[in-house]
Amino acid sequence: MSKYDKLVTNAAGRVVPTIINGKPAVPYMGVGKYRPEGFKASTRIASCADYPDDGNKVVPSLKEALVLAGLKDGMCISTHHHFRNGDLVAVPVFDIAHEMGIKDLMWLPSASFPCHEVLTKYLEDGTIDHIEGSMNGALGKFTSEGKMKGLGVLRSHGGRYQSVQDGEVHIDIAVIAAPTSDEFGNCNGVNGPTACGPLGFALADAQYADHVIVVTDNLVKFPCIPWQINGNYVDYVVVMDKIGIAGKIVSGTTEITKSPDRLLLAEWSAQFCDEAGLIYDGFSFQAGAGGTALSIGIYFADILRERKWKARFARGGSNKYLVKMLEEGLVEYILDGQTFDLEGVRSMRDNPHHVMTTPFTSYNYHGKGNFSSLVDIVILGATEVDVNFNANVVTHSDGYLLHGIGGWMNTLFGKTVILPVPLFRDRNPVIRDEVTTLCGPGELIDVIVTERGIAINPLRTDLIEKMKNTKLPIRTIQELKDEAEKICGIPEKPKFTDEIVAVVKWVDGTVIDSVYKVDK
């Protein structure tokens, strides 16, 4: 089986395969254009008669659970990134598969982190055929160098839910690491020694996988309250010594920045929002990770406090700064997909106004609406932006796959999307003629804030009008690109082979772009 076949040019002008790992795929048609018909995927019929009457689903080991779940060649195994870089569960799953001589698995993580880099050895020896989800750091490099057997598929958090729900992905075994669980499998992420926050990313897996294994290091007597995941979805419960390192939930990008340049971006972004009238009593915003985004929250807080206004809600990932705003009464609700630090965990556990969301509520394309389009201001990062406001978030300008999409693509549907980015990083211009990989169509991206000027998407005539008399340095995106090239020189394009190593899925499941093998 070839990794991909039947290339076509999609509506964004990108060449993409329509056969991916042997299965048909639909090329990207434009924002909001694709409307599949028919019915959602269905799940295996379970009978409660097959499960113990006493509700005790505990099995002695992870291996036993995997064997009972029928682990075999070619299966799709899903895991989740609730512990981010502190995850201790995904790797043992594949250690066991390797030990059992299992081959050609598909790994469906909700995100990958440096702690997962050791899995490259199983990609090399054929235990894992390919990854669908995100390929960060060393896994991205491995993929970019064409070493992965199958074709990688990159999806957003919402796209992951969509793909499971419309049957594009069928999960054979879901392994859910849960900081607290009862023997029935009711579980949550807010209690226990490795509490990490919400378990929302595992919802689709619990609902749709053939077999669901909950792994915990804090088994409590029924009932486990709150039950973020219902035990009614769960086949087996496994107790391990330690499932995650709580301290590593906090990643480097969850502290506010000390960099003067990034602070300037944050300040200008906040000032822009204010002058453009985007901040008002009852507005909403997406905080996001990354030092710059976090600092913008601080500026928002100052504005709200001064005017005695409140934000109606803020979207997480939450962190101590956002929690402070909630507790100070500057934000009425945090609707939170993940917690970026332990203060976030505490708040979600103790504060009824700090509410868990899932990709279903927030981002899912197959829902009857979702929350992403209700948010007033969305602040995001990007590796590259082009003169048509298209943005890239997965590859760097040297062509290497380095990051996952996360919720980035989904949040583009917010009312005003602002990307504070440096004009260049070292000698890498961020604003280019054309992005290396298309992840976000320019029509959804409204404002680019750099330290040398701010560009407003010409489609947003309303913002242009409102900022007519601002003292902020408004430029065209072309002027910003030219300035970057004046300073750095005109960059060469990365050299690729014509071999595709991964595809990027748009939020509706269509293929928006291909990632090519780098030519070393």
Partner 1 sequence: MAEVATTGNKGKGIRSDCFVTLELTTEGGIQLQIESKVGVMYGESIKKQALEMMLFFGIPNAKLKLEDLGALPFVLAARIEAAVKKIIKTEKEFLLPFLESNKYSTTRERNRFSRLYLPGNSPALMINAGVHHPDGIILDLEDAVAPEKKFEARFLVRNALRSVDFYGAERMVRINQGERGLEDLEYLVPHNVNLILLPKCEYPEQIHAVNKKIEELVHRTSYIVHPVWIMPIIESALGVVNAYSIASSADNVVSLAIGLEDYTADLGTKRTTEGTESFFARSMVVNAARAAGIQPIDSVFSDIADIEALRQNVLRSKALGFDGMGCIHPRQIRVIHDNFAPTSDEVEKAKKIVFAFHEAEKKGLGVVALGNKMIDPPVVKRALNTINLAVKMNKLAENWRECYEQI
Neighbours of 74 (CB within 10 A): 11
Backbone angles phi, psi at 100, to 5 degrees: -85, 0
The DSSP secondary structure of 298-341, one letter per residue, reads HHHHHHHHHHT--EEEEESSB-HHHHHHHHTTSEEEEEES-BSS
Which one, 239 or 431, has the nearer CB to partner 1? 431
| C-beta of 261 vs 498, nearer to partner 1 | 261
Q: Which of residues 444-463 bind partner 1 (CB under 8 A)?
A: 451-452
Q: Minimum distance between the CB of residue 485 and partner 1, rounded to whole angstroms? A: 11
Tell me the C-alpha distance between 253 and 230, whole Å: 32
Checking DSSP bridges between strand 496-505 and strand 474-475, what pairing results, if any? unpaired
Choose one: 70-78, 159-167, 308-316, 395-403; the region binding partner 1 (CB under 8 A). 395-403
- Closest among 114, 95, 115 to 105, alpha carbons compared: 95
Candidates 65, 263, 435, 444; binder of partner 1 (CB under 8 A) is: 263
Q: Does 167 bind partner 1 (CB under 8 A)?
A: no
Give the one residue of 73, 261, 328, 462 binding partner 1; rule: CB under 8 A.
261
Residue 274 in contact with partner 1, rule: CB under 8 A: no
Length of the chain: 520
CA distance 367 to 361: 8
Pick one of 399, 414, 420, 442: the residue that binds partner 1 (CB under 8 A): 399
CB distance 284 to 297 below 8 Å? no
Cβ distance to partner 1 smaller for residue 264 or 459: 264
- Tokens 């053939």 label which residue? 210
Smaller CB separation from partner 1, 317 or 399: 399
Q: Cα dist. 48→54, 263, 301 in Å?
A: 11, 56, 50
Q: Contact letters (x/-) for partner 1, 49-88, by CB under 8 A?
A: ----------------------------------------
432: helix, coil or strand?
strand
Q: Which is nearer to partner 1, 64 or 482 (CB)?
A: 482
Least separation in angstroms between CB 483 and partner 1: 9
Q: Is 260 in the site for partner 1 (CB under 8 A)?
A: yes
Residue range at the interface with partner 1 (CB under 8 A); choices 27-35, 259-267, 339-347, 402-410: 259-267
Q: Is residue 328 within the footprint of partner 1 (CB under 8 A)?
A: no
The binder of partner 1 chosen from 37, 50, 306, 426 (CB under 8 A): 426
| Site for partner 1 contains 488 (CB under 8 A) | yes
Q: Where are the beta strands (DSSP E) in 337-415?
A: 354-356, 377-379, 384-386, 391-392
What DSSP state is assigned to residue 249?
A: G
DSSP 8-state assignment for residue 166: T
SS3 220: strand
- Asked whether the beta carbons of 463 and 114 are under 8 A apart, the reply is no
Contacts to partner 1 from residues 12-51, by CB under 8 A = none
Q: Would you say 381 and 419 are in contact if contact means Cβ atoms under 8 Å apart? A: yes
Query: What is the pairing mode between strands 128-133 and 105-109?
Result: parallel
Nearest residue to 472 via CA among 329, 274, 272, 315: 272
- Which of positions 428-447 make contact with partner 1 (CB under 8 A)? 428
440: alpha, beta or left? (left if phi > 0; alpha if psi -120 to 50): beta
Of 151-159, 178-186, 368-376, 483-491, the segment contacting partner 1 by CB under 8 A is 483-491
Shortest reach from residue 495's CB to partner 1, in Å? 7
- Of 332 and 451, which CB lies nearer to partner 1 in the complex structure? 451
Residue 494 in the binding site for partner 1 (CB under 8 A): yes
Measured CA distances, 26 to 22, 35, 420 (Å): 13, 11, 32
What is the rounded distance in angstroms from the CA atom of residue 263 to the CA atom of residue 124? 42
Distance of closest approach, residue 331 Cβ to partner 1, in angstroms: 24
Out of 13, 247, 329, 489, the only residue in the binding site for partner 1 (CB under 8 A) is: 489
398 binds partner 1 (CB under 8 A): yes
Q: How many residues bind partner 1 (CB under 8 A)?
A: 21
Residue that the structure tokens 């260049």 belong to: 424
- Contact yes or no for 101/67 (Cβ under 8 A): no
Indicate whether 306 belongs to the interface with partner 1 (CB under 8 A): no
CB of 396 to partner 1, least distance (A): 9
The residue (of 308 and 471) whose beta carbon lies closer to partner 1 is 471
- Distance of alpha carbon 352 from alpha carbon 487, whole angstroms: 51
In the complex, least distance from residue 472 CB atom to partner 1, rounded to whole angstroms = 12
Q: Select 350 or 426, whichever has its Cβ closest to partner 1.
A: 426
- For residue 492, the minimal CB distance to partner 1 (Å) is 5
**Shortest CB 432 distance to partner 1, Å:** 10
Which residue in the set 397, 437, 510, 514 belongs to the binding site for partner 1 (CB under 8 A)? 397
Determine the Cα–Cα distance for residues 324 and 33; give it in Å rounded to an integer: 40
126 binds partner 1 (CB under 8 A): no
Among 193, 280, 495, 499, binds partner 1 (CB under 8 A): 495
Binding site for partner 1 (CB under 8 A): 260-261, 263-264, 397-399, 425-428, 451-452, 471, 487-489, 491-492, 494-495
